[in-house]
Structure 1
Amino acid sequence: MEEAIKYFAVFGGLDIKIDTSKPLIELIEKHILKDYPFLRNEISSITGGYSVDQAVLSGIAQGDRRTHSTFKRAHVSNEEGMKCVEKLIEREVIEIESSLHFLINKRGDSKISKKLLFTTPYLRFWFAFISPIYKGIKEGKFEEFRTLYQNKEAEFVNFIFEELSMDLLRASFKDDPIIKLGKYWDENIEIDLLGKTKSGKIVVGNCKYTNSKIKKTELTKLKEDCKSIELEADIFVLFTKKGFTTELKGLKGQELKLFTAKSFKSLIVK
């Protein structure tokens, strides 16, 4: 499942058959880098192909997705940036994601409580790793891409891990379905998962796409973050790639749910 998540982070939304028995980098070179001219035209037809739009999309893919920092990366004004965003939303390239401040009876600052979200993993991959260094790729030189992807892969895949974790969390709450689920962030705190069940229980969680086992300190930090924003959580959930320490697993129960990459098998449609 670890490999499946990595492959999905790149090819999710791209309508081609992938041989997952082959190395990911090899598949990226075969299906994307070597086919750059055709895919570039296809991407332009989807996004509109305007330079400002391309800059905004790369800003989203490479940054923290907040509107103000995205426009700063793209070197555009807030007014110009929002016009691009409106067009890209109409084209169904991106969507706006809002921090779930209302679940804790708080009002979010519109300047920091909005983020931009790609509609498919493949488009995010393109504007994170292909579009910014297209000149070399166009010339058939892939060394810069390999270095860039190797350095950023874990951080890049972590976001997709978070998104898939939401799907798994929804599927896991069958007896008391989650009716609202998203993320929370403000100037100081970020919580990867924040939801509310049909019965009114508040669920909070974090995701760590790391090779290290998650320790109890991760749960402690999550509880401290909740306390700092006056959020009373009923259930805590932690997602990780590898696993958890014995101490943390010993706390697992009705108020703490733990998930690893293996847990995602339940999302696969047979």
Structure 2
Amino acid sequence: SRNILNPDSFLFDEPTFLLQKEVTEIGSYFSIIKAIAAGNQRVGAIATRLEVSQTGLSRHLKTLVSLDVIEREVPVTEKNPENSKKSLYRVKDNFLQFWFQFVQPGLSYLESGHEKVVLERLKKSFVDRHVAYVYEEICRGRLWELSAEGVVPVFLEKVGRWWDAHDCEIDVVGLSESDNAIVFGECKFKTRPIGVDVLTELEEKSRNVTWGSPNRVEFFVLFSMSGFSDALKALADERADVFLFE
């Protein structure tokens, strides 16, 4: 991070340099990316944050998608992704996400030699706001591998995230139309083992997901950086539909 926070480093200005090559209204685009990186992922939330109309925003969003700076994402269960009203936008590149989340808001401090202020802010929220976000991506990739290896006994055709209009979200969802099977996953980047309550909450959230036929087969996969409680391990040993991965 010290290279990125150093005004003399080429990484310090890299996002500005990249965008200046592609767009003219760099200020507007910077504001949009910064809003998304801060967690405003719905069009309405971005528009509210920037105090602009949703209509005016759509052209800029399309440009940023075409430049591969951001990506439009819809719940993995959507039948017609292109026409979905449930889309979210996220910064596609992890370096850009980091830069707009931590470096750009602290530019004035960094340019005036007050690197410590930005570093302290970074230390406080880096794991929760950035590492956990990247960890979810890794877990989605891992689910593909677990399916390919036959560890999770489902032939997956799609893996992504799921959410609804009521802020219910599931980190990882894998679909198999051919098997009428669905995999629900939760990713926890915590300092202590996770317990049965995490599985219970995931099971409750899964009931909100409308997909497949009524007799669909369901699996639950938990990813944890710090392991699992003995009670959760014992429960997973008893159930063929629950998988735990560190």
Identify the TM-score tier after normalising by the shorter chain. Answer: 0.7 to 0.9
After TM superposition, the structure 1 stretch with the greater mean CA deviation from structure 2, 119-128 or 167-176, is 167-176
* 1:60 counterpart (19, 24, 36): 36
Equivalence map 1:110-121=2 (5 Å): 110=85, 113-121=86-94
Aligned length: 227
Alpha carbons of structure 1 residues 196 and 230: separation in structure 2 relative to 1, 3 Å: closer
Report the Cα offset of residue 154 of structure 1: 2.3
* 1:245 counterpart (206, 211, 229): 229
Distance 1:137 1:75 in 2: 27
Distance 2:8 2:227 in 1: 38
- List gaps (5 residues or longer) in structure 1: 1-27, 261-270
Report the Cα offset of residue 59 of structure 1: 0.8
Partner of residue 96, structure 2:
123
Distance 1:136 1:246 in 2: 47
Alpha carbons of structure 1 residues 210 and 139: separation in structure 2 relative to 1, 3 Å: same
TM-score (norm 2): 0.83
- The residue identity in structure 1 corresponding to 2:158 is K
Partner of residue 19, structure 1:
none
Alpha carbons of structure 1 residues 109 and 89: separation in structure 2 relative to 1, 3 Å: closer
SS of 1:250's equivalent?
Answer: helix
- 1:190 equivalenced with 2:164 (yes/no): no
SS of 1:234's equivalent?
Answer: strand
Partner of residue 93, structure 1:
69
Distance 1:64 1:206 in 2: 22
- 1:164 equivalenced with 2:138 (yes/no): yes
Q: Equivalent pairs: percent with the same residue?
A: 26
Check the 8 A contact 2:221/2:243 in 1, yes or no: yes
Residue-by-residue CA offset, 1:175-227 (whole Å, 9 max, x unaligned): 34321011111132111111113533100111111112111011111111122
- 1:151 equivalenced with 2:124 (yes/no): yes
- List gaps (5 residues or longer) in structure 2: none
Report the Cα offset of residue 64 of structure 1: 4.4
Check the 8 A contact 2:75/2:163 in 1, yes or no: yes
TM-score (norm 1): 0.76
Report the Cα offset of residue 258 of structure 1: 0.9
Partner of residue 259, structure 1:
245
Distance 1:179 1:71 in 2: 34
